[in-house]
């Protein structure tokens, strides 16, 4: 699982230029992502009270208009958090 996370992180970075939707599809339901601007972490287990996203919402299922609740950075600016703990 950890190796998969590393691959996902690299793929996301490579595809930020033009294929963000495709990159999102690679994310797991419990994958946490981190804003590369302010380091805000989106955790699917918590959701996002700012955007009224219910707990249990995968990053890939966030609304299209969603952006970083802390700095308003675009969702394409989020990178996968490589965390061995907490991954199913």
Q: How far apart are CA 80 and CA 64, in angstroms?
A: 18
Contact 9, 78 (CB under 8 A): no
Give the bridge partners for 33, in sequence order: 42, 80
* Nearer Cβ to Zn ion (7/72): 72
CB closer to Zn ion out of 31 and 75: 75
Least CB distance to Zn ion at residue 41 (A): 10
Please say which residue, 4 or 73, places its beta carbon nearer to Zn ion: 73
Q: What is the nearest approach in angstroms of Zn ion to the Cβ of residue 2? A: 25
Across the chain, how many H-helices and E-strands are there? 2, 3
Residue 61: which residues within 8 A CB-CB, separation 6 or more? none
The residue ranges that bind Zn ion (CB under 5 A) are 35, 37-38, 40, 68, 70-71, 73
Q: Find the shortest distance in angstroms from Cβ 16 to Zn ion.
A: 15
């Amino acid at each position: 699982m950890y190796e998969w996370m590393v691959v996902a992180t690299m793929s996301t970075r490579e595809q930020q230029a033009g294929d963000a939707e495709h990159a999102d599809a690679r994310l797991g339901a419990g994958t946490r992502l981190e804003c590369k601007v302010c380091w805000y972490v989106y955790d699917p287990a918590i959701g996002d009270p700012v955007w009224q996203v219910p707990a249990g919402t995968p990053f890939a299922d966030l609304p299209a208009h969603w952006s970083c609740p802390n700095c308003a950075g675009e969702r394409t600016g989020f990178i996968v958090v490589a965390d061995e703990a907490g991954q199913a």
